[in-house]
Structure 1
Amino acid sequence: TLRSNPCAFLFLASSFIDLISILIGLPTRILAGWHLDPTNTINWICKARVFIVFSTRTMGIWLIAFATIDRWLISSIDIHRRHMSNLKNVKREIFIIVVLSILFYIHMFPCYEANNVDAPLKCYEETEKCRLITDLTYVILSIIMPLLLMIVFGLLTISHVHHLHSRVAHTGSHLGTIAQSRHANLHSKKIDRHLLRMLTLQIFLLIVLCIPQAIEKFYITFKPFGSGSELEDVVKTFLYNIDILLAFMASAMPFYIYVLAGGSVFRKAFMNLVRLMQQKMAC
């Protein structure tokens, strides 16, 4: 079942953490449209917001990376690797990811300040050194490393699946028990297939939505505000705001991926949840 599936548990944890990122980070961006963003003027809110947003975003993307590794383990022909895919290991991985993500961005508390002028946002790093540290941390630890792991283990998983299908096709003609075994495990295989499809789509969208902000942050660090014309500064601010919205889209997309690409298994689970909520509200 989905409840006992390690990959589904990682998806659930990632979605919950992404929800925290959205609830903490997005309201201030909406308030900024009315010039009511408290992070622009209040230091502790500025520091707390960026720390929570960046650390939870890192947690979410690393959990998806570990979900890719879990798919690789479960698709392996090595029984010892398959046994490594279990809820106990997954919970241990989640704990490690949360702790490391917090440590990655703890430097933001002394680095970020409100009321910045020469920056795309008023709540931004104050010194060039801080900007470079944050940029390198975000690009390498939050984007490049997890995305590389996703791509590598995603390709290895596809290779395992093709190899497994060829073995089944080769032996299925003279082993009658295989048909019975496949029928008994049909539901489990269906879930695994949908999980792999969801994972592939999520990796692609993470690459498209997260890379622009990383590039723009580096560009602003090496060509800061005031080094060019006023028009260039306006364009940089506009592009950075677009990149922020793309990053929040990356945090918000899992629900739509699970429902639209997760097949009937996940749509049924979603409808069961809706019916349960309706029953609770009616009581």
Structure 2
Amino acid sequence: MSNTSTTTLYIPTLKNISNQITFSMSIIILVSGLIGNLLNCLVFGQRSLRSKPCVIYFLLASISNLIVIIAGVTPGALQSFFKIPNQTETVPVFCKLRIIVLFTMRTISSWLLTLATVDRSLISNTNVHRRRLSNLKNTYICILIVSISSCLIWVQAGYCFDANLIGTPQKCYAKSDICRIFNDLAQSLITTIIPALVMLAFGLLTIRNIRHTQQIKPSTDPMSTTISRNTRKDERSLTIMLLAQVILLTMFTLPQAGQKFYLTYSFYHTKNSSQRALESLIFNFVLLLTYIPSCIPFYLYTITGVIFRQTLFNVLKKGFDLINCFH
């Protein structure tokens, strides 16, 4: 009798904790993410920065992150804040559309950062032929390939996912065993683990290139030395910004990859109601963690990027000057 009573209290407690975590984190993610990514777009959209391939990756990653936050967090947040029914949980079309957009944009964002890491390793290389591979033409080709590939990978969600499901971590979820296993593994490998490994490899290569470059004697021409120093300063600032974001992305997305592997491994295991309630709590918490890399970059760039802070200051100064003109 006591076990039954304990279980009866345990499950509602877990659900209440899950609701409180979702409510609190959704507010923080939504507000900081919308403001941060809009400011990112404003800064990286400046003509003075758009000539750098890495900045193009940052700009499009910020747009992707903005869409991820709107598609991923907004429906649940509106339900929590204003009691507006979450149509993505009950209407199949909205469920499928949200999942396709969310997963596609998240994969694009992850691989854009991966490409930015590759670009950093190229631009920091002492081999002039490899440095020339870092150009806008190659950048746009890579972005196109990543975008098309991501769409092709996740278009199957239109068939696999459905609304009003029972016994799944969310009401809008993969409807069959094969779909669940495929999507769990795809999210873990394609969106998280493989990009993280590539970013780690090229990040280490970039650090090695920078150390090697510092050992080379600079030019004796004063004009050439000044231009080279300013260029290296900008590139170093972008590299620090990128490496900080790579660490952040890996830290907050790997837990979901591990949880997806666990769900796949334990899919056919019999679970009682307490286990399901605990798994649901962990699922919701880990899911919210995956949105943090989409909302923090602006604040990370502001702390770590000198060139970003300077451009942001100039943009805000122009904005205030424009406002003062109307007074």
The verdict on a shared fold, with TM-score over 0.5 as the criterion, is: yes
Distance in 2 separating the partners of 1:70 and 1:25: 29
Q: Does 1:66 align with 2:90?
A: no
Q: Does 1:198 align with 2:238?
A: no
Distance in 1 separating the partners of 2:86 and 2:304: 36
User: Against the structure 1 CA distance between its residues 280 and 98, is the aligned structure 2 distance closer, same or farther, given a 3 Å change threshold?
Assistant: farther
Percent of pairs identical after alignment?
33
Distance in 2 separating the partners of 1:77 and 1:268: 28
Match of 2:171 among 92, 99, 122: 122
**1:26 alignment counterpart:** 73
**1:238 alignment counterpart:** 281
What residue identity is the alignment partner of 2:300? I
Give the 5 Å matches for 1:212-231: 212-224=255-267, 227-231=270-274
In 1, are the aligned partners of 2:53 and 2:119 still within 8 Å (CA)? yes
Deviation at 1:228, TM superposition (A): 1.4
Deviation at 1:217, TM superposition (A): 2.2
User: Against the structure 1 CA distance between its residues 114 and 225, is the aligned structure 2 distance closer, same or farther, given a 3 Å change threshold?
Assistant: farther
Distance in 2 separating the partners of 1:216 and 1:28: 23
User: Against the structure 1 CA distance between its residues 4 and 137, is the aligned structure 2 distance closer, same or farther, given a 3 Å change threshold?
Assistant: same
In 2, are the aligned partners of 1:118 and 1:225 still within 8 Å (CA)? no
Give the 5 Å matches for 1:46-85: 46-85=95-134
User: Against the structure 1 CA distance between its residues 219 and 185, is the aligned structure 2 distance closer, same or farther, given a 3 Å change threshold?
Assistant: same
What residue identity is the alignment partner of 2:305? G
Distance in 1 separating the partners of 2:174 and 2:273: 21
Q: Does 1:88 align with 2:131?
A: no
User: Against the structure 1 CA distance between its residues 248 and 82, is the aligned structure 2 distance closer, same or farther, given a 3 Å change threshold?
Assistant: same
Q: Give the CA RMSD over aligned residues.
A: 1.9
What residue identity is the alignment partner of 2:53? P
In 1, are the aligned partners of 2:111 and 2:146 still within 8 Å (CA)? yes
Q: Deviations over 1:233-266 (max 9, x none)?
A: 1111111111111111111122112111112x21
Of structures 1 and 2, the one scoring higher in RCO (CA 8 A, sep 6+) is 2
In 2, are the aligned partners of 1:226 and 1:233 still within 8 Å (CA)? no
If the length of structure 2 is used for normalisation, what is the TM-score?
0.80
How many residue pairs match? The answer is 276
Distance in 1 separating the partners of 2:279 and 2:50: 45
5+ residue gaps, structure 2: 1-47
Distance in 1 separating the partners of 2:265 and 2:159: 21
